[in-house]
Amino acid sequence: MDDHLGAGSLARLLRGWREGAGPAVSAQAALAGRIATLLSDGRLAVGTRVPSERELAVALGVGRGTVAAAYQELREDGYLVRRRGSGTWTASPATPPAGSGPPNGAPLDGTLHVGPTGYSPFAPMGAPQTQDGGRAVIDLAHAAPWAPMEAMSEAAARALAELPTHLTSTGYDVLGLPALREAVAARLTAQGLRTSADEVMITAGAQHAHSLVTRTLVRPGDRVLIEQPTYPGAIDLCRHASARAVPVAMVEDPASGRPGWDLDALSAAMRAATPTLGYLVVDHQNPTGAVMSPETRAAVVAAAGRHGVALVVDDCLREMWLDTPVPPPLGAWAGAGGTPVITTGGLSKTVWGGLRIGWLRAPRTLLRRIAAARASDDISTPVLEQLVAVGLVERLDELVEASRQTLAHRRDHLRGALARALPEWRVPNPSGGFSLWVDLGVPRSSALVEAAARFGVHLAAGPRFATGGAFEQYLRLPYTLSPDALDDAVARLAEAWDSLGVDTPTLTTVV
């Protein structure tokens, strides 16, 4: 694989780096900051050889000294390393960069996500951990729920009590514990997708399921259809599999103003690009929050069948509807013997990501191939975690219902706070999921992410959710934090936005 990044390619990724930082920031700091952001949010891969200082200076139209100083800064922070005789390479800082140590201030409340060191993998370089005498860093880079403490503790205690009965076996089962597979199959069946336990594999999270499917079905050079924008993990998987992503743009339904799928574009991409696999998030699409209608589900399955495209339907957010229940899973429209539809899911979005329990449902023959591919990988899922998951799946209705009410309130709260503080932003009203896909009105998402880091807010920029640097005008804002934390985040975001000096177009109402 060619891991050398040309100067032109890096310059394209860096588009807007100078203007984004504002006049108060030196050119070298602005350049270093943008490269660190690209690395932190995954748009620039670790282990890539970057262009020489001279090549990049020419591509950016700046003096070589500026690039040299920026590279030097990045080396000091651990984002770049020089290898003798083979140039300069991107790296992952072993320790948080200067200024991002543990928080001095206490978290705003129990739900504020601050990692053990307060360091977020998305934190751009030099992101200060405390501001103004000890403000905690607010992590809006991750859209994930808080753990239900009591339910987790109870399920863990029960699992521990049950563990001895499993200790007489080897504990290896590539498909997972029968009790959990049955519980998952029952839940999928109740949702309208008839499933038996022998069609289910338990995995270490939904993303692990996607990785296993990709490894089984996708060969280097194959094409994989994805939505644009989409969950960044899908883009990363394509890259890791050396597959070519075929992005199909999400569109706005003119009647409802809500995002949706362009069926003609999906069918055309399936016909013209002949992808091996299509990855779709049809319930509370990440990041737009879109929900696919039953008619479109039927048509997508039919188109995939016509063009021989296997589908992976990532249903890990489907249970998180806030206003109206979603239609049955897309897999329910797949007929026996037709194109394979693989449904993935897990407990990361309904209960807690730290549990690392996910699953996939696939036709039995395909499941056997996936199991064979897994046998040389992680082999099987930890038994204790699966036992905990059995207890949680039994209580899932109750747990999800409680989260729904809290999340609906927080969604409305964040929308209200944004409408007051940043009225020029276009803020949607998704019917589920965890985040708002906000239209900033101007392509300044990466610049805002960098500025927000200086105010102690960590975010993922719009282009992280797309191929080719698209969606600079959009920002994903999760509403999973407490109302107090969201208020604080919005106040800081408004400050960060102000610091960019964006000339906002005046909103006019046409009557």
Ligand X SMILES: Cc1ncc(COP(=O)(O)O)c(C=O)c1O
Binding positions for ligand X, rule: CB under 6 A: 205-207, 231, 233, 281, 286, 314, 316-317, 346, 348, 353, 358
Closest contact distance (angstroms) between CB of 8 and ligand X is 32
Closest contact distance (angstroms) between CB of 220 and ligand X is 23
Q: Rg of the chain over CA atoms, in angstroms?
A: 23
Closest contact distance (angstroms) between CB of 139 and ligand X is 13
Dihedral angle over CA of 481, 257, 230, 466, nearest 10: -110
* Residues 277, 242 contacting (CB under 8 angstroms): no
Nearest residue (CB) to ligand X, 120 versus 348:
348
Angle among Cα 114, 119, 125 to the nearest 5 degrees reads 140
Closest contact distance (angstroms) between CB of 474 and ligand X is 16
Phi, psi dihedral angles at 498 (to 5 degrees): -60, -40
* Residue nearest to ligand X according to CB distances in the complex: 205
Q: What is the DSSP letter of 19?
A: H
Nearest residue (CB) to ligand X, 33 versus 205:
205
Nearest residue (CB) to ligand X, 118 versus 205:
205
- Residue 455 in tokens: 């105010």
Residue 23 three-state SS: coil
Closest contact distance (angstroms) between CB of 355 and ligand X is 9
Nearest residue (CB) to ligand X, 67 versus 351:
351
Nearest residue (CB) to ligand X, 77 versus 314:
314
* Residues 212, 374 contacting (CB under 8 angstroms): yes
Amino acid sitting at position 465: F
Closest contact distance (angstroms) between CB of 91 and ligand X is 25
Is residue 278 packed enough to be buried (19+ CB in 10 Å), middle (13-18) or exposed (0-12)? buried
Nearest residue (CB) to ligand X, 31 versus 217:
217
Nearest residue (CB) to ligand X, 28 versus 431:
431
* Residues 432, 317 contacting (CB under 8 angstroms): yes
Closest contact distance (angstroms) between CB of 344 and ligand X is 8
Q: What is the DSSP letter of 186?
A: H
Nearest to 318 by CA among 275, 354, 280: 280
* Residues 318, 284 contacting (CB under 8 angstroms): yes
